[in-house]
């Protein structure tokens, strides 16, 4: 009887394991992830070996391990759209070695969040990019991919989950509000994601990214004196005139402002387009208008 019970239990456990594998189509790539993580962990635990070959130097009398260290600290969050047609397509892309592309998080249209990599590890999502003096965003950022083909709206469920993920990351890693940016911001000559349909203002209202002041384009009424009457008559006429509430400084340089915000301005047209994708969100391929320059100046002051 005991033997029969043991065999039945073994069979049930085996079926359970098979069922768990069957319900997760990424069991094989998960195994590969664990194997790579284990190899990195083994390497980190190992006592540093003495150098060999061309570059050698005398070793100390004994190995001394410091007590003051930690893992890499992410300081940026880069938001992408997948430019694909489903979450499953993106998950498959990020688990194929030949694609050489990955992200820490993927968020589906239904709001489901797939964390594919530990925050402290380096994903391959930024590519050839620059923000300010930082030319290796992969090493200092967390990548978030949104399941969106680039020409559709971002569902409410997705944005709700995104804001929750961003809140977690901001709290855990102390990421500054201004460091929540888009792929187009860091690679203006190559990328346009997330598209102009992305709700950057809503994110900024929740503390993720900066936005311009609402009154920056307001007009106000002023009284102006207009000379009237015959020659030599000093009597002026007072008229009401609508003028912009704010004006640009005389020597304001839009490209300098973009550079100080963080944009790579080596391709000026691309930098302007990336700025408009993020903050203007219409006519993104056109030069800056006077109103848009006012918005840029307002934002530039926030980044100083």
8 A C-beta contact, residue 82 and residue 145: yes
Question: How many C-beta neighbours within 10 Å does residue 206 have?
Answer: 16
8 A C-beta contact, residue 102 and residue 232: no
Decide: helix, strand or coil at residue 240: strand
**Is 284's pLDDT higher than 70?**
yes
Closest CA to 147 of 206, 226, 94: 94
**Is 238's pLDDT higher than 80?**
no
pTM here is 0.86
Give residue 233's pLDDT. Answer: 65
Give residue 12's pLDDT. Answer: 39
- Can you say how many angstroms the Cα of residue 111 is from the centroid of all Cα atoms in its chain? 18
Q: What is the pLDDT of residues 116-175, one digit of tens each?
A: 999 999 999 999 999 999 999 999 999 999 999 999 999 999 999 999 999 999 999 999
Question: What are the chain's domains?
Answer: 76-205 (3.40.80.10), 212-304 (no CATH)
Q: Is residue 127 classed exposed, middle or buried when 0-12, 13-18 and 19+ CB atoms within 10 A define those classes?
A: middle
């Amino acid at each position: 009887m005991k033997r029969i019970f043991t065999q039945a239990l073994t069979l049930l456990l085996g079926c359970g394991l098979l069922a768990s594998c069957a319900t997760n189509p990424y069991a094989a790539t998960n195994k590969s992830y664990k194997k790579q993580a284990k190899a990195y962990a083994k390497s980190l635990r190992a006592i540093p070996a003495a150098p060999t070959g061309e570059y050698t130097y005398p070793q100390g009398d004994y190995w001394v391990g410091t007590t003051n260290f930690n893992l890499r600290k992410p300081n940026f969050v880069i938001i992408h759209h997948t430019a694909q047609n489903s979450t499953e397509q993106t998950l498959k892309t990020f688990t194929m070695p030949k694609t050489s592309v990955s992200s820490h998080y993927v968020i589906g249209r239904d709001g489901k969040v797939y964390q594919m990599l530990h925050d402290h590890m380096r994903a391959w999502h930024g590519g050839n990019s620059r923000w300010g003096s930082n030319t290796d965003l992969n090493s200092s950022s967390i990548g978030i991919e949104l399941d969106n083909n680039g020409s559709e709206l971002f569902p409410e469920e997705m944005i709700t989950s995104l804001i929750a993920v961003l809140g977690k990351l901001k709290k855990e890693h102390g990421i500054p509000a201004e460091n929540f940016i888009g792929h187009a911001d860091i690679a203006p000559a190559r990328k346009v994601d997330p598209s102009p349909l992305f709700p950057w203002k809503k994110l900024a209202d929740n503390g993720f990214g900066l936005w311009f002041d609402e009154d920056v384009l307001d007009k106000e009424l002023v009284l102006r004196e207009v000379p009237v009457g015959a020659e030599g008559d000093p009597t002026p006429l007072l008229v009401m005139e609508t003028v912009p509430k704010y004006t640009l400084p005389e020597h304001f340089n839009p490209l300098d402002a973009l550079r100080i915000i963080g944009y790579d301005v080596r391709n000026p047209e691309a930098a302007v387009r990336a700025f408009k994708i993020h903050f203007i969100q219409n006519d993104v391929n056109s030069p800056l208008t006077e109103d848009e320059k006012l918005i840029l100046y307002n934002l530039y002051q926030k980044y100083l």
